[in-house]
Amino acid sequence: MANILLVEDDENLAFMLSENLEVEGFDVQHVKKGEYVMETIDEQAIDLILMDVDLAGEMNGFDVAERVRLSNSSLPIIFTTGKTHFKDIERGLKLRHVDYQKKPYGTKELLARINNLLNRVSESGSKKFVFSGLSFSPIDQVIEYDGLELRVAKTEAAFLRLLCENANGVVTKESIVWLLWGEQDVYQKEHSLNNLTHKIRKYLEGNPYVELVTISKVGYKLMER
């Protein structure tokens, strides 16, 4: 069963949550402050983080999650929060592989979110994207079409996966720069991003199935032809 890292500064709530999750078969590790999260995930195999947004200490839940994403792009994170402001929710969702559990909540509702997120990330990790005659495997980092097999670099694969996950939709430059390099300033990574899109276009050159479209001043879109 999955190993959950519970980040909660309320001792009574943490005890109750730990007991309920352990009854369901989960292993639970508990820390009270966000400052202890990185040390814990470095030392143990954590499958999911269940974390309060309003933590005691210098780091809130969003701060912790953003630091986690710099070294682990796919570890599932569920925020437990009473916050409902759009900017708060948006900050969390930019991190990918996250969910929200609004307080107060019941055990069944929380368990459903945990299982759904674990399954979703597992499926995403092994997924092969297919567009008519073209396919892309993020794990193998390989593009295939019309008998050709093209192996791409790690960052190129991460970028292409992001485009595939949002096929026919716009992926903003801000999202790309943050998810690939952990930077908030698009300008600092403009040159790297331009080089990256140029390489992806070279890989896709001549294929009749998809094309990478630039949306001026906004971002990019992988379009099916």
- Burial status of residue 20 (CB atoms within 10 A of its CB: 0-12, 13-18, 19 or more): middle
Tokens for 7? 């980040």
Q: Which residues of the chain have pLDDT under 70?
A: 83-94, 120-127
- Could you report the per-residue pLDDT of 146-205, keeping only the tens digit for each? 999 999 998 898 899 888 877 888 888 888 888 788 777 888 889 999 999 999 999 999
* Residue 194 CB coordination number (10 Å): 11
Burial code (b: 16+ CB inside 10 Å, e: under 16) for 159-174 equals bbbbbbebeeeebebe
**Torsion sign over Cα 198, 165, 209, 217:** negative
What string of DSSP letters covers 179-194? Answer: HHH--S-TGGGHHHHH
41: helix, coil or strand?
helix
**Torsion sign over Cα 166, 172, 177, 178:** negative
pTM over 0.75: no
* Residue 52 CB coordination number (10 Å): 24
